[in-house]
Amino acid sequence: MLNKSGVIFWPVGTGDSTSIVIQEGVVLQVDLRDLKMADETGDDHATLIDALAANLPKVEGKPYLSAFALTHPDKDHILGFEELLDRVTIGEIWFTPRVFIEHDQDLCDDAVAFKNEAERRVQEMIKSNGDVGAGERVQLIGYNTLLEMEEFKNFPEDRLTVPGNSITEIDGNNYEGGFNAFIHAPFAEEIVGDRNDTSMCMQIVLGNDPSQGGVLLFGDIAYPRIRRIFDATREAGNEEYLKWKVFLAPHHCSKSAMYQTEDDKEVLKQDMLDDLAEFQVEGGVIVASSEKIPSQNSSGDNPPHAKAKSRYEEVADNGFLCTHEDGGKGAPLVFQAEGGTLTTSDLAEAAFTGSTSRLATAVDEARGSDSPPSEQVGYGD
């Protein structure tokens, strides 16, 4: 199903769990939602931590995940992290400073575990001036003013990525030409306020040409910040970093991506849909990481929203997919990377058939074998 590199969207209910397979044995996990109900017979949710632990390469006898990126510390993006950290060695973690702003009582237990691990690694990076090994690395996403905060005083500047720039390195190894993560947000002033607004947003390309289209991951942001991302990226002359072949619908297919309340009326913001269509590479697919989308919603319903699905269906050349509607039971949606872009054709045959066993198969075929990667996943360099 996935021979080399690609993107895997796991069925984890209404929440996000996306695996970016850069090459054999090199995986960036973006967000995590692992539900205990997935262990029940017949359940259609992914047993994600089990699948990762069983199929990631082993380094010194333990499963090795090259990197974990947290878009924001809400429960539906971090559930199961404490267990993941116990069962898997995580070479590097990416996060925005919002996690440091939160008080523990405002966070779920897994978000607290992530915060503690992030704080520990930041202090190790400071003590060693960034010269750390596997299981200690940090990639901070934010602005230079962060380094003035007490928590980040003397943090190595080269481990800070300012939005508007790219990351090509994972866990001490450079994959330029085969991997590029362009960071769109959060914006400088957005380290407080609603967590959704402070989401890490990025375009990830598995190739060397962003204009060929990648996957857009916008966390849980709503229309105002999507509008700002499009405007700021255009203004900077970086339009190629808006190109997408796969777009993960923000906030689990929330209508807040394209509807706003104005004068007590819900108004469609057609400009967002127009921009999304403009930057689509031919044959694009929009994915909702959510439970089955209802045919209609009642007022006040949480995402997913039927109105958002309808609007996305008008945009996507190659269709709209939902992780709990368009895959086999417990199976992920898989997009292969070929020729510098993501392959989205014949998905019904290539990715959707099968049962829970295909969950492990997707990662297993991407990994290749139980041997450590040829580049020693963060050791030595």
Query: Three-state SS string across the chain, please?
Result: CCCCCEEEECCCCCCCCEEEEEECCEEEEECEECCHHHHCCCCCCCCHHHHHHHHCCEECCEEEEEEEECCCCCHHHHECHHHHHHHCEEEEEEECCHHHHCCHHHCCHHHHHHHHHHHHHHHHHHHHCCCCCCCCEEEEECCHHHHHCHHHCCCCHHHEECCCCEECEECCEECCCCCEEEEEECCCCCCCCCHHHHCCEEEEECCCCHHHCEEEECCCCCHHHHHHHHHHHHHCCCHHHHCEEEEECHHHHCHHHCEEEECCEEEECHHHHHHHHHCEEEEEEEEECCCCCCCCCCCCCCCCCHHHHHHHHHHCCCCEEECCCCCCCCCCEEEEEECCEEECCCHHHHCCCCCCHHHHHHHHHHHCCCCCCCCCCCCCC
Q: For position 103, what pLDDT does the model report?
A: 73
Residue 141 has pLDDT above 60, yes or no: yes
Residue 256 has pLDDT above 80, yes or no: yes
**Structural domain includes residue 374:** no
Judge whether 31 lies within some domain: yes
**What was the pLDDT predicted at 192?**
53
pTM (2 d.p.): 0.89
pLDDT for position 202: 98
Rounded to an integer, the average pLDDT of 353-381 is 37
% pLDDT > 90, the chain: 71
Residues 210-226: tens digit of each pLDDT: 999 999 999 999 999 99
Q: Categorize the per-residue pLDDT at 355 as very low, low, confident or very high, splitting at 50, 70 and 90.
A: very low
Full residue range of the structural domain in which residue 283 is found? 6-367
Residue 376 lies in a domain: no
Whole-number pLDDT of residue 366:
42
Instruction: Look at residue 351 and tell me whether its pLDDT is greater than 90.
Output: no
pLDDT band at 341 (very low <50, low <70, confident <90, very high): confident
State the pLDDT at residue 32: 98
- Please give the pLDDT value at position 48: 93
| Residue at token pair 């930057």 | 279
158-191 per-position pLDDT tens digit: 999 999 999 999 999 999 999 999 999 988 765 5
* CATH number of the domain encompassing residue 196: 3.60.15.10
Count of structural domains within the chain: 1
- Is there a domain that residue 380 lies in? no
- Domain-embedded: residue 372: no
The pLDDT value recorded for residue 353 is 33
| In-domain check, residue 375 | no
Instruction: Evaluate whether residue 76 is within a structural domain.
Output: yes
Q: Is residue 379 part of a domain?
A: no
